[in-house]
Amino acid sequence: MVSRRFWISPACRSEAAGRDFGLPVALCIFWLTALNISAMAQDVRATAKVDSNHILIGDWFRLRLEIEHSNNIAVTVPVLPDSLEGFEIVKREQPASKQAGERTVQIQEFIVTSFDSGMHIIPSIPVQYTRAGDTSKYMIETSPIPMTVGTVPVDTSQDIKDVKPPLSVPITFADVLPYLLVIIGIGGITWFVRYFLRKRKRGEPLIPETPARPAHELALEALRSLESEKLWKRGKIKEYHSQLTDIIRTYIERRFRILAMESTSDEILSGLADGIIAAEMKEHLEEILICADLVKFAKFQPVAEENEKSLVLAFRFVESTSKKESEIEKPSEEVIA
């Protein structure tokens, strides 16, 4: 056997020695980094879980996201899209949080469904967070969740059935009210049109006239007004007796249908034949008319008692000759001349 020796230069020995020390240093750096990452992972934990891994198509299930972290860490709760790789988010519950010593647990729940049968995976949900005094952003992800979405079993051996008819909903008063209002409105308009045409055909006014007041009420009201004016006390004797006789003449026209305003005193008295009014009332009327004629045509100046007596007799004449309420007739255009 031939023995061979090799000479190694000092430079080569130095390089070999450097390589022997470099490997342990690299291993130390790797383990320190792994420990740091593990410590940071312990500071933040994100977990996603469901209440059931098996659902029927269209069923709802609850997806719960829990993020547990130290109080010196700020976590951004992720906002999931409406569609999540085969799943649809129906509702997002209000986020909640609770304290557990020096740690905080943030909870976000979602109501999720799926309309695709088969095996699906809820993907990992990324969660970003920052540490106090550090501007860097870190991220941790939840584990994916397998989900089985089944379909409703169909018995092919059975006959095909018709679709169920629509359910009958009970009719309420609120449903009928608009139709009732329309019917009432149409009926009201129809009645008004017929009423208007009937009135127009008959020549009657559309709005009924107010019934005429009884003659004695109007006469007594005018006499009270004349009494309150006290014309004769103010020297207006002729005006006083003229108004007094006008009131009486108007009353006679309305009450007895005699043209008293255009007749002389004698014609008025003749028109009131025996039996129409009592003899005593006829005498009172004659006394009123004669006194007024003397004042108006003979410039007669009656004393105070005579002025007052004429007014008293006028009141008495109207009250005594007035009809009862049931006997009142509507004034006619035909008046006895």
67 and 110 in a single domain? The answer is: yes
Long-range contacts of 227-233 (CB under 8 A, 24+ apart): 227/311, 232/304, 232/307, 233/304
204 with 219, same domain: the answer is: no
Same-domain check for residues 254 and 183: no
Domain interval for residue 55: 49-150
Helix (H) or strand (E) holding 136: none
For the beta carbon of residue 198, count every other beta carbon within 10 angstroms.
10
Same domain, 54 and 119: yes
Are residues 197 and 140 located together in one domain of the fold?
A: no
**Three-state DSSP state, 209:** coil
Nearest to 263 by CA among 246, 244, 276, 243: 246
Is there a single domain that holds both residue 102 and residue 131? Answer: yes
Per-residue model confidence (pLDDT) at position 279:
82
> Within a domain: residue 3?
no
Q: In a 3-state reduction of DSSP, which class is residue 116?
A: coil
d(CA 232, CA 303): 10
Residue type, 253: E
* pTM, rounded to two decimals: 0.38
Among 209, 232, 255, give the residue marking a domain's end.
Answer: 209
**Looking only at Cα atoms, what is the longest distance across the chain?**
193
The pLDDT value given to residue 209: 60
In a domain, 101, yes or no: yes
Residues 136 and 72 in one domain: yes
CATH of the domain at 87: 2.60.40.10
Residue 143 maps to a domain? yes
Identify whether residues 69 and 113 lie together within a single domain. Answer: yes
Q: Is residue 163 part of a domain?
A: no
271 within a domain of the structure (yes/no): yes
Does residue 237 form part of some domain? yes
Closest CA relative to residue 40, chosen from 135, 107, 130: 130
Residues 57 and 140 in one domain: yes
What is the pLDDT, as a whole number, of residue 186?
A: 93
Question: Is residue 43 exposed (0-12), middle (13-18) or buried (19+ Cβ within 10 Å)?
Answer: middle
Domain presence at residue 164: no
* pLDDT tens series, the chain, 337 aa: 333 333 444 444 444 444 444 555 555 555 544 444 444 446 789 999 999 899 999 899 999 999 998 888 888 888 888 888 889 999 999 989 888 788 889 999 999 999 988 899 999 999 999 988 888 888 899 999 999 999 877 777 777 777 777 777 788 888 888 999 999 999 999 988 888 787 777 766 656 566 678 888 888 888 888 888 888 888 888 898 888 889 988 988 888 888 888 888 888 888 877 667 888 888 888 888 888 888 888 888 888 888 888 889 889 888 888 864 334 444 444 444 4
Whether 29 maps to a domain, the answer reads no
Total domains in the fold of the chain: 3
Q: What integer pLDDT is reported at residue 29 of this predicted model?
A: 53
Predicted pLDDT at 76 = 86
